[in-house]
Every structure is written in structure tokens, then in C-alpha cells.
Amino acid sequence: MDIETLKAQNPAHWTKAAAIRALTLDAVAAANSGHSGMPIGMADVATVLYEKHLKFDAARPDWFDRDRFILSAGHGSMLLYSLLYLCGDPEITLDEIKNFRQWGAKTAGHPENFLAQGIETTTGPLGQGLANSVGFAMAEESLRARFGKKLVDHYTYVIAGDGCLMEGVSHEAIGIAGRQKLSKLVVFWDNNNITIDGTVELSDRTDQVARFKAAGWHVQEIDGHDPSEIDAAITAAKTDDRPSMIACKTHIALGHAAQDTSKGHGALTDADQNAAAKALWGWTTGPFEVPDDTKTAWEDIGRRGVAEREAWEARVADLSATRRAEFTRTMSGEAPKKLSSTIKALKKQISESAPKVATRKSSEMVLEVVNPIVKETIGGSADLTGSNNTKTGDLGVFDVDNRKGRYVYWGIREHGMAAAMNGMALHGGIRPYGGTFMCFTDYARPAMRLSALMKVPTVYVMTHDSIGLGEDGPTHQPVEHLAISRATPNTLVFRPADTVETAEAWELALTQTSTPSVLSLTRQGLSTVRTEHKTKNMVAQGAYVLADADGKRQAILLATGSEVEIAMAARDMLQADGIGTRVVSMPCWELFEEQDERYRKRVLPGGPVRVAVEAGIRFGWDRWLFGERGKREKSGFVGMHGFGASAPAETLYSEFGITAEAVAQKVRGLIEGKWQPDPRT
């Protein structure tokens, strides 16, 4: 169908879609950067979706029961910004459109969820939005099961491009969605056959239709410029009991000189070509000008959901006070009041019984008491349930016939799990946690970065956190992964030393509102070091004096997690020699960094020699060894200097020299002034 025919057949639709196209051209040209072709190509799909299907109230982008619209092909951000502006979103004003990609604008190069409520998720790293959407849809299913469809009943719509579908994470995401029969998830594939390097065939000839069918999806193929086909396909998608993929054959940069080319993917800034495209579209107003009648038509769309939203609010108001409070609290992400006392009670009990357990088991002990009171948790594991200890007795399994279940068998899909958890957290009403081996932080990494960037409190339960996992060897032994997570802004990395610290770490993780947490947990058993009960959450300070020096303080040992008990044993040896030794447990560097200078100085005073012990590489430790009143020549590190090896854990600790003896030895040498540089770190 050519453009004239499209225009003639659906003039009202065409004009509305043209508004998206024109705003995109104008904004990208003004910024002199961006991606014009995708919004132009998908304007018809988006227009039909917003006009005929999407349940939303533009003035109230925070309405909890709105349909979610996720632009997985995030480079086409002007599509989303145009829609928000046109419909009357309070935050995405015309000025924002004019300031596209400029400092301080809400209209960033790629959509950033934290800049405006109307932006559901941060996209740009391809495939992430699609994988998030699986979590959005799961969150909706879970909350609908819990609160009923009068309160929760909405769809998740996604636009994904060829890049999204080539990325590996898309495989994991569609596998999960197919398995879970997420019937309220509808994905539009912008099938324009263009990538940056050329036509898709240059790098891929996958039959996407067959592929999605193989994953258990309902699939339709349509002309992505024909409004009636689009409308019919969405209607069909909404009623099928499987997730739906609608393959929309589109032309990137439709009507522009760059149509159907890689050039069309990028910034179209040639004034003459842009003018010609606008002429072809029948768009006659100046830059950023939307004719009143067109703007009004869009604003009517933006108001379509007002009555529905008000009815929903009335239903919420009609709830019993208790139920309304619980629903409101759940939506808000606030932790239940009982959490704090529950954690304290567990701590007390543990300090008294002082069990020797792995911290992955400690984590399970915490979850066993937490999950029954924090009903919004959804736990899971990437096929390591028995190893990550993430499943507690009360959860039940989230499944097609049990949406009340709160445990997800994610399969061997660390990346998909992490991205879906982000989606759940973004959706709201769910506090997701998921486990894998810490080394496979690598697989989940793109989504873990996005948790931090997007400011969502996803919790990563990373067990088997060092050579202490033993025989599985260096492919499974993290050495640099603590550094990787610590290097990531806005991420709390907890490495608790025992069950008490694990409980404190969980309390902190579950009360975060805008920061993800990484729990680094052992495979091997650890002694309880916090045998004296304190109601205060000591981990909240990031680091604290676990055992002070007897007599003159000559040494400070800094340790985390499984190495705290090694530090304690070294302290015993040193004290026996009359060397006053303090042990500082440092379960969370980031929180310690946030303490004031006075507290930090109290914990790490200048003077004594310092030795840090951690079964990971040294990278990052210099801050605590040389900085904070420390000195290079009075400090040392006992840890890893490269990859691990395959052998029993005790052998590895011994062969790699991470022992109490080595720590004590290093302290003695430093006190005697015999500093030596580390092996290459």
C-alpha cells in the first residue's frame, strides 16, 4: 500500500500518526542526533494501540492499573515522547520535546524511567525492554491473583526491533513468557528488515515467526501500516491464552528519502529531505507545531481512560480499611512494619544458638521468616534452587495454574531472570529476588547495571561467592565479581559473615526503594561471629568493630564474609603473641562510605598496621588500606591474585594462602617494618 492510499483510506488515523512522525523529525533535527526512522516506521502501530486499546489516563501516568507500554527498541525514544506529549502527559511538555537529548531534559536519548512517570522502563541496551516486559506481565498475573481483577487487570504492550530479537536475552525472555503462558503480554515486532550495518539478512536469517511459535507464542503477521490490520491483530492477541507476537511489516523512515535504508535508522537531519517527507505525509505546519484539531484528537485519546481510572479508584476506596491499606502499601513498595521485629527476633535466636552454616543457608533461614510477612516478595533461581537456597516453604510455585505461587523456576536464564525481576520491580507491587552462582553475575550483568541505573531495588542472591565453592573450579569461582558489583554506581554489595549479618543485610535490601542489592553468600559453612545480640542493625553502618584489640592496638584486620572468621582466628593468634588486634567486619563498603568521617575514623583510626582479608582480588581495597588514615607500607592484603582452581575448598584456601596463619604472618611482618608489595593484583 502506498502512502497516498494509506492517507486516503484512513485520513484521521493518518494525521494522528503523522504528528508522531513530524515531531520525531523535528526533535531529531533540532538535537542533530537521535534515531528518526523507527518512530516514523512504527507510528501507525503506536497510534492504533493508543487510540483503540491501551488503557491509560495521560494525566495520571501513575495509575496503578494502567496498561504498560514498553519501548524495547529504546533508540526510537521520540516515539514514546511524542505519544506522551500528544496525549497530554503532564511531564512531557512541548518544551521537553524541543529539548530532546539536552542536559536536564526528561527526553533523554534513550527513555530513562526515572525522568518521568510516563516512562515505564529504561531501554536502549537492546532486548532489555522485552525481557523487562516478561516481569511486568508476571507481576500483573501475581497481583491479579492476590488482589483480584477488580484492582489489577491490565496488559503489557511492547515494541521490539530486530536488535531486540537478535540479542540472546530475547531467547530467555520469550522462553519464560511461553512457558508461563503470559497471555496479557503483547509484543509488536518492528519488522523493518534494517539494522545499522545493513539489511537484517546481512547477519541473520532466523524465521522469527517460527521461532516464537516454537517458544509457545501466538503469532500473527500484519502490514504494520494498515490500521485495520493492526487493530484486528491486537484484538486477537488480547484474547489468545498465550503471549502474542505481532510481526508488523513496516518501512523504516516511511516516506523519507532514507526509507528502507540503514541511514533511515539514524538521525535524519537533511532539511530538504525532511521537508519533502513532511510534504508527502501531508504535514504542513512548522517545526514542533501540531495543528489544534490533531492535538485535540490525541488529547481525547489521552482522556479515554479517565472514567475507567475513576471507577478503579472508587473500587479501591470501597475496599475494607485493612485491605486498602495492604493494597496501598504493596503498591507503594513500603516494607511491612513487622519486618524489623522479625529480623531482630531471628538475630537474637541466632546469636544465642550460634549455628555453623553457610550464608546461603543463613539467607534461607532469613527468608523463611521474612516471606510469610513480606507478601510482595517473589523469589526464584536460575535453575539452582537447592544451591541458592532461595525457596521457602510457604511460597508455592508461580505457574500457569497457580498465579498465587511466589517462587519462579527461571530455568538456566540468569539474564532473563534479572531483566524480568527489574520488570517486576518497575511494575510495582512486587519485591523480586533471584539467585544464581555469583560467578554468573557475568550473565546477568547487563540487567544488573540497569537495576542500578533505573533505581529499582531488585535483590540478587549470589551464592558460591569464592574459591570456597571448591571443586567446580575457576569457571565457577568468582574472584573479580565483588569488584565488579562494587564498581557499579548505586548498588549495595553485601558480603555477610554469618547468619546475623545476613539477616541484617536482608533487612536493608528489602527496605531499599531505589537501589539494588547484591548478596554475596558462601557455599561453605561459617561460624557465627555475632554471638552477642544487638538490636541495632550493624550492617547498616557498612563496617564496624567486631572484636577490638586487647591491650595496645597494633593491628586492624579488615574482612568480609567467609574471611571474617579467618580474621578472628588470626586475631586469636596475634593476641596470644601480645599483639593487640582489632577485627573490622566490612559487609557493605557502600554503606560505610556513607558514614561520617567521625564514625569511619573510629572504626579505622590511623596508626596500627592494616591487613585486609577477602577471597577475591585486591582491586578496590586500596581505598581502605592506603586511604582512610592508612599507609601503603603499613598495610597488606590476603586474597586472590588471579583465577582460582579446582580442588576441595580447604585445599584452595591453603594453597592460595588465605589462612589465619598467613594473615598473622603478614601482620607481624608489617609491624616489623618488612612491607612487601603484593604479587600483581
**Binding residues for a copy of itself restricted to 162-191, rule: CB under 8 A:** 162-163, 166-172, 175-176, 178-179
CB 588, CB 493: distance < 8 Å: yes
Retrieve residue 303's grid coordinates.
Answer: 482522556
CB 107, CB 92: distance < 8 Å: yes
Rule CB under 8 A: choose which of 295, 347, 413, 634 binds a copy of itself.
413
CB 70, CB 34: distance < 8 Å: no
Measured from the CB of residue 418, what is the shortest distance to a copy of itself in angstroms? 11
125: annotated binding-site residue? yes
Return the residue matching grid coordinates 550492617. Answer: 539
* 514 is an interface residue for a copy of itself by CB under 8 A: no
Angle subtended by helix axes 414-427 and 128-147, to nearest 10: 60
| 597 a catalytic residue | no
10: annotated binding-site residue? no
Q: How far is CA 298 from the centre of its chain?
A: 33
At 560, is the secondary structure helix, strand, or coil? coil
Q: Closer CB to a copy of itself, residue 175 or residue 423? A: 175
CB 371, CB 395: distance < 8 Å: yes
Measured from the CB of residue 386, what is the shortest distance to a copy of itself in angstroms? 7
Rule CB under 8 A: choose which of 70, 453, 492, 567 binds a copy of itself.
453
* 450 is an interface residue for a copy of itself by CB under 8 A: yes
**Strand-pair category, 198-199 with 194-195:** antiparallel
Measured from the CB of residue 597, what is the shortest distance to a copy of itself in angstroms? 8
523: annotated binding-site residue? yes
Q: Closer CB to a copy of itself, residue 301 or residue 483? A: 483
* 628 is an interface residue for a copy of itself by CB under 8 A: yes
Retrieve residue 471's grid coordinates.
Answer: 571443586
The one segment of 361-369, 478-486, 512-520, 534-542 that binds a copy of itself by CB under 8 A: 478-486
Q: How far apart are CA 30 and CA 672, in angstroms?
A: 67
265: annotated binding-site residue? yes
Residues of span 345-384 touching a copy of itself by CB under 8 A = 381, 383-384
Rule CB under 8 A: choose which of 623, 661, 674, 676 binds a copy of itself.
623
* 522 is an interface residue for a copy of itself by CB under 8 A: no
Which residue, 197, 135, 122, is CA-closest to 166?
A: 197
472: annotated binding-site residue? yes
Retrieve residue 413's grid coordinates.
Answer: 536464564
Q: How far apart are CA 590 and CA 517, in angstroms?
A: 11
Return the DSSP state at 379.
E
Q: Closer CB to a copy of itself, residue 106 or residue 427? A: 106
Residues of span 117-156 touching a copy of itself by CB under 8 A = 122-126
By CB neighbour count within 10 A (0-12 exposed, 13-18 middle, 19+ buried), where does 323 fall?
middle
440: annotated binding-site residue? yes
Return the residue matching grid coordinates 495454574. Answer: 401
Q: Closer CB to a copy of itself, residue 89 or residue 172? A: 172
Of the listed 414, 501, 565, 614, which one is catalytic?
Answer: 414
By CB neighbour count within 10 A (0-12 exposed, 13-18 middle, 19+ buried), where does 668 fall?
middle
* 587 is an interface residue for a copy of itself by CB under 8 A: no
| Positions marked active-site | 414
Residues in the annotated binding site for substrate? 35, 265, 360, 387, 464, 472, 476, 523
Which parts are annotated binding residues? 35, 75, 124-126, 162-163, 192, 194, 265, 360, 387, 440, 464, 472, 476, 523
Binding residue positions for Mg(2+): 162, 192, 194
